[in-house]
Amino acid sequence: MSRPNSVIKLLSRANSHSRVYPLLPKNIFGIILEAPMSTTTANLPKVFVTRRVPEDGINFLRNKCVLTQWDSDDAIPREELKKRVKDIDGLFCLLTEKIDAEILDCAGPSLRAVSTMSVGYDHVDFAECQKRNIPVGFTPDVLTSATAELTVALLLSVSRRIKEGINAVKDGSWGTWKPLWLCGQGLDGATVGIIGLGRIGFAVAKRLMPFGVGKMLYAEYEEKDYASQLPAEYVDLDKLLKESDFVLGCCALTKENTGLMNSAAFKKMKNSAIFINTSRGGLVNQDDLYQALKSGEILGAGLDVTSPEPLPTDHPLLTLDNCVVLPHIASATMKSRNAMSELCARNIIEALNGNIMPAQVK
């Protein structure tokens, strides 16, 4: 029996990467139907979401806008993004999308709000948005706990040589007990240096204190009053690098600190020191890090962020037993990701309603 033309048309949409909201009831094939613009929806702002994101954000946007979405777990291609942003009012983006003058030009004068589902916003040309009076939102605070937990987990994985231990179990090199085998560095009595004592840096420090840390140091552009709650000592970067047993990158990426952790920095660290980075990949010169780890200049490293992302599978850092690399999963808890998604959505709707975003870049 032949299918009606309407059914054939619906089936042809099944593999499309685009969704159109507000959602109408799904048909028996589970395919979302598109309808002509009604009088009601004609008055609603248009918002485009650049990826498949947690439902809390999508649910918040329902009925508040005409919502279209790149319905894929993979990043939207640049050329496709340029087409999709045309005439939208609000843009819900991720770290993988470079929102620059070209994209803003493609969107046109209708664009009144940009928000990224991330704490970092260096992928958004903030100065260009300011020129066009387009507010930019981001999602701080809601991922602080998740990122702090992952930072501690990564530190422990490197310091206690977990990667090597797992491999020893898998490859059969685990033999009889040996007193010196797989001995790592402990936190008890250690000096921890934190580069950037903002929300995440402070949260990491609080979670490390129960491990019996001996001393906390932090380097920042200015002294922080709340550091006394740890307590942590405000020092310059040189002192932090020279004295710390663990050096943690927890700062925002700026022009001034891009490539901050380079050969010169690693030379100042102890041979027994461990470096952990959960901030941005651009903080580190990865070639210099590889040489420092390979030569024994520092003991180990753990990275949740790299440059580029994903890190190529043939990258030399991945050949080292004393380097643990994770696929940028610091905020990867359902609670955190849903909160990020909803806050990103709230930023857009508030701006489109003429209000200040709950989390607006200043």
Active site residues: 328
Which tokens is 209 given?
């204190």
Give the torsion sign (CA, 207, 213, 218, 223).
Answer: positive
Count Cβ neighbours within 10 Å for each residue of 185-220 and write b for 16 or more, e otherwise: bebeebbbbbbbbbbbbbbbbebbeeeebebbbbbb
Distance from the first to the final alpha carbon of the chain: 61
C-alpha distances out from residue 197 to 40, 156, 330, 346, 362, Å? 48, 20, 17, 27, 19
Give the alpha-carbon dihedral of 159, 164, 168, 170, to 10 degrees. Answer: 120
Which amino acid, 106?
C
Q: Which of 328, 286, 332 is nearest to 309 (CA)?
A: 328
d(CA 63, CA 354): 18
Q: How far is CA 58 from CA 63, 215, 319, 359, in A?
A: 10, 44, 40, 18
Listed as own residue / partner, the contacts of 34-40 with beta carbons closer than 8 Å and 24 or more positions apart are: 37/66
Number of alpha helices (DSSP H) and beta strands (DSSP E) in the chain:
13, 13
3 state SS of 360: strand
* Strand pairing class (215-219; 300-303): unpaired
Count of CB atoms within 10 A of residue 71's CB? Answer: 14
CB under 8 Å to 268, separation ≥6 — which residues? 238, 241, 242
Nearest-CA neighbor of 48 among 107, 2, 3?
107
Neighbour-count burial of 234, counting CB atoms closer than 10 A to its CB (0-12 exposed, 13-18 middle, 19+ buried): middle
